C-alpha cells in the first residue's frame, strides 16, 4: 500500500508539472523522448558510481581488517546516504560529460 501511495504522489506531481508547463505556453521542441534518454543516462551513471563506491568501500574495509587489529563492519556501507551521494556524483558527472561533448 505504501508503494502505491508513493507512486501516486509522483504521478500527481508529474502531471501537475506537465499542466503548468503547457499552460505557461512552453512547448519543448523535441518532445519528451530526449529528456527520457538523458534521465536514463544519468540514472545509469549514478548506478555505476554506486557500484564503484560500494566496491571501494568493501575493499577499504577488508584492507583495514587485514592490516590493523581493528574490526570495521561491512554494514557501515548500509546507509542511504551512499545512495544519495552516488546519485549526486552521477548527475554531476553526466551533465559535465554531456556539456563537454557539445563543445
12-60 pLDDT, tens per residue?
Answer: 998 998 888 888 888 777 777 888 899 999 999 999 999 999 999 999 9
Residue 15 lies in a domain: no
Q: What is the pLDDT of residue 29?
A: 76
Q: Which domain holds residue 54?
A: 30-102
Distance between CA atoms of residues 46 and 93, nearest Å: 9
* Cell numbers standing for residue 15: 502531471
Show the cell assigned to 99.
556539456
Decide if 14 is inside a domain. no
Q: Does residue 84 fall inside a structural domain? A: yes
Domain tally for the chain?
1
pLDDT at position 103: 67
Across the chain, mean pLDDT equals 91
For the stretch 30-51, what's the b/e string if a residue is b when 16 or more beta carbons lie within 10 angstroms of its beta carbon?
Answer: eeeeeeeeeeeebeebbeebbe
Place of cell 543516462: 41
pLDDT tops 90 at residue 102 = no
Asked if the structure places residue 94 within a domain, the reply is yes
Asked if the structure places residue 6 within a domain, the reply is no
Tell me, yes or no, whether 53 lies in a domain. yes
pLDDT: which is higher, 29 or 73? 73
Residue 86 class from Cβ within 10 Å (0-12 exposed, 13-18 middle, 19+ buried)?
Answer: buried
Amino acid at each position: 500500500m505504501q508503494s502505491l501511495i508513493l507512486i501516486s504522489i509522483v504521478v500527481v506531481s508529474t502531471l501537475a508539472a506537465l499542466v503548468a508547463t503547457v499552460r505557461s505556453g512552453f512547448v519543448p521542441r523535441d518532445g519528451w523522448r530526449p529528456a527520457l534518454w538523458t534521465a536514463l543516462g544519468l540514472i545509469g551513471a549514478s548506478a555505476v558510481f554506486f557500484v564503484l563506491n560500494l566496491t571501494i568501500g568493501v575493499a577499504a574495509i577488508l584492507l583495514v581488517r587485514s592490516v590493523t587489529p581493528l574490526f570495521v563492519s561491512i554494514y557501515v556501507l548500509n546507509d542511504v546516504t551512499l545512495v544519495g551521494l552516488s546519485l549526486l556524483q552521477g548527475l554531476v558527472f553526466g551533465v559535465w560529460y554531456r556539456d563537454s561533448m557539445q563543445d
